[in-house]
Amino acid sequence: MGHFIQLSAADGKSIPAYVAHPTGAVKGAVVVIQEIFGVNSHIRNVVDGYAESGYLAIAPAAFERVKSGVELGYAEADMGEGFGHKTAVEALPAPGVLQDIQAAIDYAAKSSGHKVGIVGYCWGGLLTWRAACMLSGLSAAAPYYGGGMTTDAEIARLPQVPVMAHFSNQDKYIPMPSVEAFGKAHPHVQVFVYDAHHGFNCDQRGSWDAPSAALAQERTLAFFAQHLA
């Protein structure tokens, strides 16, 4: 349903992005931020799903500054490669990948003519939180199990837009005490915890949990309907 385009970041860097347009009336726009596995078939399916729900949706290639064309699966070797790319991107001088996400936000706003929300998964959840705190042009943010976003440094950030955060109580990467600390520090953020593992939204992973994924998606769509209208 979607196709790839090229975005231009503030520093002139060209960034591929997968974009899908709704067939009917546009409700708004959603920027989708990848896991550590690239803009793979799962992320493209997520983008297509938001388009089917009435949103212009776009997923920028967040690894482009360190390696082009990354599209990984979910095997252990893929995990290792993806983590290496993520580490390299995190080590870039500021603003690093945030300028690529800003380019996607700007494109989504201009192309849709509507408000823009952002959703991200795993590492993308962390980037979604940072975007909500540091970037412009957003109206809502929905990070899913953002690895690292419950550290002291990230908790110290202040979101500029409404945030709905999804976590899971069996996530070996995000301890529940840190989720509780995040929620306590940000009482205005809607925090939901699911009886599931890290990656519960991805139907290509062994940790996929269909009921949790469906409930989180229902909540996120209602959240976007409220704030992007």
Residues with active-site annotation: 122, 171, 198
Q: Which residues contact 12 (CB under 8 A, 6 or more apart)?
A: none
Range 179-187, long-range pairs (CB < 8 A, 24+ positions): 179/150, 181/150, 181/155, 182/149, 182/150, 182/155, 185/155, 186/155, 186/159
C-beta of residue 33 within 8 angstroms of C-beta of residue 42: no
Count each helix (H run) and each strand (E run) in the chain, helices first. 7, 8
